[in-house]
Amino acid sequence: MQEFDIIIIGAGASGMFAAGRAMRAKKSVCILDMGLTPARRVAVSGGGKCNFTNMHADTSHYFGENPNFTRSALTRFTPADAVNWVKSHKIPIHEKAPGQFFADDAQHIVTALLSDAHSAKIFQNTTVTAVEKTDNKFIVTTTEHKKFTSTKLIIATGGMSYAPLGVSDIGYKIAKQFGHKIIPPRPALCGIKAKIFDTSLAGISIPVEIIIGREKIRDDMLFTHFGLGGPAIYRTTVRDCMSGFTINLMPGIDAYDWLREQKKQHGRKQLKTILTTKLPNKLAEFLTHDTRNIADIRDIELQGLTTRIQQINLTPTDFSLFGFAGAEVTRGGVSTTQISSKTMESKLCPGLYFIGECVDIAGDLGGYNLHWAWASANAVEI
């Protein structure tokens, strides 16, 4: 049996960051991971550029049963702290969009994580088969009946997203073993399957507004062969969208007033021609096959067209989430009600900690999830 101060299950962003902190505190650390390489999701994030933080990271950009759970950790590890950490490793970075910070090469972030945790014993391709606690010591058993023991156990196993890179529900199983509630995981930051639009529109991207309850999202939406994707849809799926939402294909204007004005000024133009001044040709054709001049179309018909443009209601039966294989993050996980927001320690089992994506916290698109990985790992009482 090998003994350490801290055992970390999971060599992803949060687990590796926590290991780096433990190294600075001169603790002995063992990292157990089922994959072949550490931080493999970090290496592919942001298209290989790694959107490692967002300057707007606050509770409003996080979702779960209790987004306010993030407040303490976010206050103590800010986006400026993330930027300073990256700069301390002399990693070239750039601001791709306002507040969104990327590394020029995601592999540099992986190298920094490995450098900080250089003294940790990392066991790759290792599956945890059992965890028990005896006399304030955790005993972790892995494949080939190897045993490791420590006084602190950090669960950093991630969620079920990025399935092709390898995922495991072991973190949820350990949580349940020690009495923790699990919020059912579902895909988030993903596309949706829907048949409300024709597949001939696949590949077209347009700016839209999506309304979910009282919230409005303005971003680009992509028509796909299976349904819808793009940033607007991704951001929709991380929110509480499963009861349905509304799509506005022509945001920022009142389409009915605009169509009536076009009727006055350009009465001899066909309705489809008018629509192509605001929408791609194929989408205009999909919305109406009317070949009449707009002057010949009654206002009540224009009202009906306006509804088809600006009030596309998707009910729960109209769509389904594309799945964990294409999801960037997981909604659900270990309930925050039984975890300390200050230290990430279990309220049910002293010495047991949960960080990163395995917790019921999911961030918005744009660097928020990696920032949560750093912030939650930073909060752990090393």
Judge if 121 and 178 occupy the same domain.
Answer: yes
Judge if 366 and 342 occupy the same domain.
Answer: yes
- Mean pLDDT (whole number) for 196-214: 97
Judge if 119 and 235 occupy the same domain.
Answer: no
Judge if 30 and 107 occupy the same domain.
Answer: yes
Judge if 301 and 351 occupy the same domain.
Answer: no
Judge if 29 and 175 occupy the same domain.
Answer: yes
Judge if 296 and 340 occupy the same domain.
Answer: no
Residue 305 pLDDT: 97
- SS3 assignment for 178-210: CCCCEEEEEEECCCEEECCCCHHHCCCEEEEEE
Pair type for strands 6-9 and 2-3: unpaired
Q: CA of 23: how far to CAs of 85, 116, 146, 373, 376, in Å?
A: 15, 7, 23, 17, 17
| Domain final residue pick, 300, 322, 344 | 322
- Mean pLDDT (whole number) for 16-38: 96
Contacts of 88 (CB under 8 A, 6+ apart): none
**315-361: pLDDT as tens digits:** 999 999 999 988 999 999 999 999 999 999 999 999 999 999 999 99
Judge if 42 and 59 occupy the same domain.
Answer: yes
Answer yes or no: are the C-beta atoms of 379 and 73 closer than 8 Å.
Answer: yes
Judge if 225 and 353 occupy the same domain.
Answer: no
Residue 52 pLDDT: 98
Contacts of 13 (CB under 8 A, 6+ apart): 39, 41, 42, 113, 356, 370, 373, 374, 377
Q: CA of 70: how far to CAs of 58, 173, 181, 259, in Å?
A: 8, 23, 18, 46
Judge if 95 and 177 occupy the same domain.
Answer: yes
pTM of the model: 0.95
Q: Is the pLDDT reported for residue 122 higher than 80?
A: yes
What is the Cα–Cα distance from 329 to 12, expressed in whole angstroms?
A: 13
Closest by alpha carbon to 367, among 155, 57, 28?
57
| Domain final residue pick, 296, 322, 348 | 322
What is the Cα–Cα distance from 292 to 272, expressed in whole angstroms?
A: 9
Q: How many structural domains comprise the chain? A: 2
| Domain final residue pick, 306, 322, 338 | 322
Judge if 219 and 311 occupy the same domain.
Answer: yes
**126-184: pLDDT as tens digits:** 999 999 999 999 999 998 889 999 999 999 999 987 766 667 899 999 999 999 999 99
Q: Calculate helix-pair angle for 299-310, 255-265, nearest 10 degrees.
A: 140
Share of the chain above pLDDT 70, in %: 99
Judge if 265 and 337 occupy the same domain.
Answer: no
CATH code (residue 337): 3.50.50.60
Pair of tokens at residue 11: 């060599």
What is the residue range of 300's domain? 191-322
